[in-house]
Structure 1
Amino acid sequence: MRDWDDAYANSAHVPGSDQLPARWAERAAAYRARLKSFKPDIAYGSGERQRLDLILPDGDSKGLVVFVHGGYWMRFDKSSWTDLAEGARSHGWTVALPSYTLAPAARISDITAEIAVAIASAAAQVSGPIRLAGHSAGGHLVTRMLCDDGRLEPEVYDRIVATLSISGLHDLRPLLKTAMNQTLRMNMSEAALESAALHLPRGKSPLTTWVGGSERPEFIRQAELMANIWTGFDVPTHLVVDPGHNHFTVVDGLKDPSSAITRRLLGLV
């Protein structure tokens, strides 16, 4: 019998991971203090956590990048990840970072709906093309925006020029066998509905699945699975297994304007 809890236990396999959340929050706060143009806590709904931050470039905006954080739909908020906007911001993009209601207060399907509203809200404030990125559970959420059940209105969806799912979860059915599902409260029907790999793509919007080469094998499998399946529907897909990175370091390159992951996100490769 496979140990599915261990398959998703990133922290247990990264030494010192218990210290990372405090470090992320401190790093993000220091970055916010240096920003010249920052619009915090813009409401996209009535819920307490239905808020997003906008990080603006120094000059004219080339368009909108939306980054959705992870945490297994149960942890964290936008405030821990502000510094990840720097790579895109330095290239002239406005970056939106939304928070969302966490499980168990919300089901995963509710969170998916919230992110669609958050993206639409940010898109109403920032003109131009849209690029989506998300990490872990956030990778799931941005990939769901590309599915055939039409979470976004056409005028928003049609502006999406690329999506980057970083260590994303695209088939949620194995999570039914984990202890975390006591909080997520998924059944098979919801797990299938929320699995992008089980949907048809809505169109041909390009998708990159990006994963660290030192991550748990399950995350590499999920990245390979999504890219493989949607390639069969003629979606331009690209799989990157980034050597040497674990589940937590794989997003660090988004802070660097010249990194491979930033260049992929912005279509500079």
Structure 2
Amino acid sequence: MQNPDTIWSTLGAAARSAAYDNTNAVANSAALNQERIEASAAYRAAHGGALDLAYQPGERTAWDLYPAADPAAPCLVFIHGGYWWKNRRQDFACLAAGIAAHGWSVAVPGYDLAPAVSVSAIVAQIRASLDWLQAQGAAHGIAGRVIVSGWSAGGHLAAMALDHPLIAAGMGISGVYELGPLRDTNLNQYLRLSDDDLTQASPLRLPVVDKEFAIAYGAAELPALIHSSRDFHAHRAASQAPGVLLPVAHADHFTIIAQLREPDSRLIRCILDLERFAAR
């Protein structure tokens, strides 16, 4: 499995875009997404904890909170993906089920999307959302230790949020940790990546945060996504930062997050371990 970044200069525009095109790489991605959206609508209806709580003015810049019975229970913050230009927090609610079965709270932030805002602005919004949760979470039944996670673009945003004082540890799932190649793909029609975005919002270019950060990816993902996870893990390991590299057998970019709905899945067990490590 060759890392496309090593032959990037030899690839044409179509091949560069295909290297990061998760949707077309997974034949049933539309059906998987639709099932998740429908399951999330049902979950929100059945678990309407504290929904649509604004942390900044705007429709998207809000929290959906699902507090546990015990306010002191750990909390998983889950950041949705969509290559920073699509999707919404409401359509990922069902992913709270797996960790909630262990008595955890779950908090899902939204954020504005490109091209209306830059990737760097989205990073800043996630940090603002965590500021709000740090100040207001207890009033809504969330006062325990916080682990941050996210999928795809959300994995990138989780890595960028790891140094926030509220965050004890984190896990990126199928993340993109170097933004540079994306500027050469059709994604850039939405992202409009600047030089500052590349240098200030690429986790692989930034100082390592010495908190535990697990890095998960599907073994059936596109090579570019697999190598991004491996490279970020190696980058952190070189500074002796803690965190496992977690390939999930047979999982692709879309099936991997179904594990968050299963209380005994590898991803849920990893999140539980992150909290235990942080508690020591």
TM-score by length of 2: 0.88
Deviations 1:29-58 (A, max 9, x none): 1122222x5110001001221111001224
Return the letter of the residue paired with 2:217. V
Q: Which residue of 2 aligns with 1:236?
A: 242
Distance 2:190 2:106 in 1: 30
Deviates more, 1:37-46 or 1:58-67: 58-67
Q: Which residue of 1 aligns with 2:34?
A: 22
Superposed, which structure 2 residues align to 1:117-136 within 5 Å?
Answer: 117-124=128-135, 125=137, 126-136=142-152
Superposed, which structure 2 residues align to 1:48-197 within 5 Å?
Answer: 48-124=59-135, 125=137, 126-146=142-162, 152=164, 157=165, 159-197=166-204
Distance 1:109 1:188 in 2: 11
Task: Note the C-alpha offset of 1:250.
Answer: 0.5
Contact preservation (8 Å) 1:55, 1:94: yes
Instruction: State the identity %.
Output: 32
TM-score by length of 1: 0.91
Q: Tell me the secondary structure at the aligned position of residue 224 of structure 1.
A: helix
Contact preservation (8 Å) 2:148, 2:162: no
Instruction: Name whichever structure is richer in helix by fraction.
Output: 2
Contact preservation (8 Å) 1:57, 1:94: yes
Q: Which residue of 2 aligns with 1:46?
A: 57
Contact preservation (8 Å) 1:61, 1:93: no
Superposed, which structure 2 residues align to 1:228-267 within 5 Å?
Answer: 228-267=234-273
Choose which of 211, 216, 219 in structure 2 pairs with 1:210: 216
Distance 1:261 1:21 in 2: 19
Q: Tell me the secondary structure at the aligned position of residue 244 of structure 2.
A: strand
Contact preservation (8 Å) 1:61, 1:92: no
Q: Tell me the secondary structure at the aligned position of residue 116 of structure 2.
A: coil
Task: Note the C-alpha offset of 1:22.
Answer: 2.5
Q: Which residue of 1 aligns with 2:45?
A: 33
Calculate the aligned-residue CA RMSD, in Å: 1.6
Task: Note the C-alpha offset of 1:182.
Answer: 1.5
Q: Which residue of 2 aligns with 1:9?
A: 21
Task: Note the C-alpha offset of 1:254.
Answer: 0.8
Q: Tell me the secondary structure at the aligned position of residue 107 of structure 2.
A: strand
Return the letter of the residue paired with 2:26. V
Contact preservation (8 Å) 2:155, 2:174: yes
Q: Which residue of 1 aligns with 2:229?
A: 223
Contact preservation (8 Å) 1:70, 1:135: yes
Deviations 1:158-213 (A, max 9, x none): x42220000011011000110110211112332121100111124x2101110000
Distance 1:146 1:32 in 2: 27
Distance 2:32 2:95 in 1: 15
Distance 1:178 1:236 in 2: 32
Return the letter of the residue paired with 2:238. G
